Amino acid sequence: MRRPSNSTTASLTVIVVVLAGTLLTYAFRTDRQLNALDVVLPIIAFAGILARQRYPVAALIVVALAVAAYYPRAGLDGPLIVLTFVALFTAADRGHLTAAIATGATLLLAMGLGESGRVRHVDDSMFVAIAGWVVAAIAFGGVTSNRRAYLLEAERRAIDAEHTKEEEARRRESEERLRIARELHDVLGHNISMINVQAAAALHGLKKRPEDAETALRTIKETSKETLRELRTTLGVLRQVDEDAPTAPADSLARVEALVAASGLEVRTELSGPLDAVPTEVDLAAARIIKEALTNVSRHSGTNTATLTVSNTSGNILIRVEDDGPGTTYEGGSGFGVQGMRERATALGGTLEAGPRPEGGFRVVARLPLNKAP
């Protein structure tokens, strides 16, 4: 069985109280002559009270008219005026403050005009008390309405803040996944590519030039060792466990020669401007871009020569990697190398352009601003 709402229960309670008061008045006021309005008008007012939550303004008007007609025309002066206070409170509580004020003022004005004649039904003190109850009912309804609106707004803001917090957490998680993906691609992609190139060189020169094969195998050993070290470091960060800090220096513009030597290419390097006081984020991004660009030359250009230019001018680190190779047949791969380089540059407020050169070969040009590093 469905239970009645709190407002319905309150309305029924008020009706019972007023009805009981009316019956007590009838029991003790035997000098009054009853008429049909003593029954009809209370019933109309009771119906308005029952409908006050769904139709607050209409209920207020119905109750006000019924009460206004009850006292001068009905024979019994019951406590029907209490219903007016309830209807005024409900209208103000539901946000219809203007209607409540207008109705209350009209009732008081009508009451004052009605009591201005020779015959008076209430004295001055009673009139002031009734006026005070009218004002109190309207004021209390306005206060409860404002409090409910404040609580709803606070709840909405709390929900919005929770959604914003969740969205921020998802965004940071996505950015962290992207950063880890770039790191793994740059580290593993470069080193495994070098292992592949050196292994091919070792197989090719194993019989004809054993000394070159030995050098290639040593390079494979060192590169695989470095790959495992960096992979363990990355996995340690992901697992959030305490591990020994890496002993090898991080990639940096100060180690351009080491980056070039690790590529296994013949690279003509041109450096200009101060490269030893670069912000850490720009320094690491520049080194990663150089490593990835040289890796792409090794894997896709079809040549073992390249040109690397790094300069620090006009508040920017400019990187240019070019080759004049014919290009090789695509043999599969993720295709995330250029995308990862471009994302690194964009994250620092810079740009990266990569594409074929008109005269042949491939070119990568990156611009990393120094003053916009996060």
Q: Over the stretch 294-312, which tens digit does the pLDDT of each residue have?
A: 888 888 888 889 999 999 9
Q: For the chain, give every residue range classified as CATH 3.30.565.10.
A: 251-374
Answer yes or no: are the C-beta atoms of 305 and 361 closer than 8 Å. no
- In degrees, rounded to 5, the angle at the alpha carbon of residue 314 between the alpha carbons of residues 313 and 320 is 45
Assess contact for 290 and 321: CB atoms under 8 A.
yes
Tokens of 191: 């080193």
Tell me the per-residue pLDDT of 43-92, one tens digit each, with 9 for 90 and over: 999 999 999 988 999 999 999 999 888 888 877 778 888 999 999 999 99
E-strand stretches of 147-304: 266-272
Distance CA 282, CA 276 (A): 11
Mean pLDDT over each residue of the chain, to the nearest integer? 82
Count other C-beta atoms under 10 Å from residue 263's C-beta. Answer: 23
pLDDT tens digit sequence for 108-136: 888 888 777 665 667 778 888 989 999 99
Say yes or no: domain 251-374 is CATH 3.40.1190.20.
Answer: no
Angle at 12 between CA 10 and CA 18, to 5 degrees: 105
Which three-class secondary structure string do you get for 30-64?
CCCCCCCHHHHHHHHHHHHHHCCCCCHHHHHHHHH
